[in-house]
Amino acid sequence: MRLSAADPRSSLALALLLLMGTAAGRWTYMADALDIDYFTLWSVPRALAAKPFADGRTPDIYDADVQRSLGSVLIEEAQVPSVSPVQSRATAITSSLYGNRVDTTSSPFAYGMTGLLSSGDFARDV
């Protein structure tokens, strides 16, 4: 059986192919974007644990100075040779997007749960 251009099945097949191509491209883009969003959730508890603060209390993670301090901890960590390329890439992207700070927008509960459930290896956790 030969399909003509006027055949509705041809149009449907072409539309499905275009949809699948668009979905595949979007999936790739979204996977990278989700890595960056998860990196923020993952990195805040990690940076807080890595950097002791002067008074021993947990600082206000929504304060711009604290966000810059957390960002510097993560940037230093990303330069260690044992850090995964995925973590280094996520650090570089978030640093460039947010001016070398961590843009904390989630709730403390979300950061706490992510910190409790993560292994410390970003590539595995993501």
pLDDT score for 5: 55
Burial (0-12, 13-18, 19+ Cβ within 10 Å), 56:
exposed
Angle between helices 64-78 and 85-98 (to 10 degrees): 150
Please give the residue that has the higher pLDDT: either 1 or 15. Answer: 15
pTM above 0.85, yes or no: no
Instruction: For 34-69, write each residue's pLDDT tens digit.
Output: 578 889 899 999 998 887 666 677 789 999 999 999
| Three-class secondary structure of residue 23 per DSSP | helix
Q: How far is CA 14 from CA 1, 20, 21, 22, 77, in A?
A: 17, 10, 11, 12, 48
- Report which secondary-structure segment, H or E, holds 125: helix 122-125
Average pLDDT over residues 99-126: 91
What is the predicted pLDDT for the residue at 33? Answer: 59
